[in-house]
């Protein structure tokens, strides 16, 4: 039922509405079949809340029984950015770490998304900033082309300093992507933008609002769950 590469797809609330309409059920009738409240159906159809796995499975089962093919996920539309050829990516691993088992999936999402969005890139630099306690995962990251920057203290300061240097070598031809949820980096993003660097953020929905505001709505790429 779910797409294989789920990070490239987003939940489609209209899929639930489509199932209900094809079955010619009211929200209350649909809710009764699923054992949930009418309010829950309303929230799902508006997209304000996503149904959990059990509820989604229930909707799918009802749809299939009635020969309705639901479409719960749609492919993410990636806006293509033209004109710049340098890409600098910095992963603040001490503030947004993943397990060794999960890293491969995250790396695939990051590279696939960036390759689609920035097709004119001819030079790219991927750096991961971490402390020694993350050595198990960062060793695997290095094998996949991430340049490991490991420090036992002041990791944030090292990231700030190196990114500033890397991006300012050719600011107006550079795209910078920061992977973090640390709001303290909002100042770095603002300073880089003033220098002419095009800045983007990959961060979870729960990240600092100031951090997301620094790149703007179009510059924020949601970190997949």
The 10s digit of each residue's pLDDT in 166-200 is: 999 999 999 999 999 999 999 999 999 999 999 99
Mean pLDDT rounded to a whole number for the chain: 86
pTM for this entry: 0.65
- 156 or 132: which carries more pLDDT confidence? 156
First-to-last CA distance in the chain? Answer: 18
Domains along the chain with CATH numbers: 6-75 (1.10.260.40), 86-222 (3.40.50.1010)
Residue 155 token pair: 């990791």
The 10s digit of each residue's pLDDT in 39-60 is: 888 888 887 778 888 888 889 8
Whether the Cβ atoms of residue 17 and residue 87 lie closer than 8 Å to each other: no
**Nearest residue to 78 via CA among 181, 222, 197, 207:** 222
3-state secondary structure the chain: CCCCCHHHEEECCHHHHHHHHHHCCCHHHHHHHHCCCHHHHHHHHHCCCCCCHHHHHHHHHHHHHCCCCCCCEEECCCCCCCCCCEEEEEEECCCCCCCHHHHHHHHHHHHHHHHHHCCCCCEEEEEEEECHHHHHHHHHHHHCCCEEEECCCCHHHHHHHHHHHHHCCCHHHEEEEEECCCHHHHHHHHHHHHCCCEEEEEECCCCCHHHHHHHCHHHEEECCC
The 10s digit of each residue's pLDDT in 87-103 is: 999 999 989 988 888 88
């Amino acid at each position: 039922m779910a797409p294989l590469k789920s990070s490239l797809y987003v939940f489609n609330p209209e899929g639930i509405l489509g199932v209900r309409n094809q079955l010619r059920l009211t929200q209350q009738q649909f809710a009764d079949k699923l054992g949930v409240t009418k309010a829950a159906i309303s929230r799902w159809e508006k997209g304000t809340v996503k149904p959990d796995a059990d509820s989604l499975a229930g909707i799918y089962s009802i749809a299939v029984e009635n020969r309705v093919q639901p479409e719960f996920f749609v492919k993410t539309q990636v806006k293509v950015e033209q004109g710049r050829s340098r890409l600098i990516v910095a992963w603040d691993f001490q503030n947004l770490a993943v397990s060794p088992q999960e890293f491969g999936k995250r790396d695939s999402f990051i590279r696939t998304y960036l390759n689609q969005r920035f097709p004119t890139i001819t030079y790219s630099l991927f750096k991961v900033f971490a402390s020694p306690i993350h050595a198990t995962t960062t060793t695997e990251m290095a094998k996949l082309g991430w340049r490991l920057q490991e420090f036992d203290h002041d990791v944030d300061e090292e990231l700030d300093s190196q990114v500033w240097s890397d991006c300012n070598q050719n600011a107006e031809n550079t795209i910078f992507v920061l992977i973090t949820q640390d709001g303290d980096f909002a100042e770095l993003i603002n300073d880089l933008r003033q220098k002419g660097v095009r800045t983007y953020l990959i961060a979870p929905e729960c990240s600092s609002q100031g951090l997301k505001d620094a790149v703007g709505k179009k510059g924020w790429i949601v970190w997949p769950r």
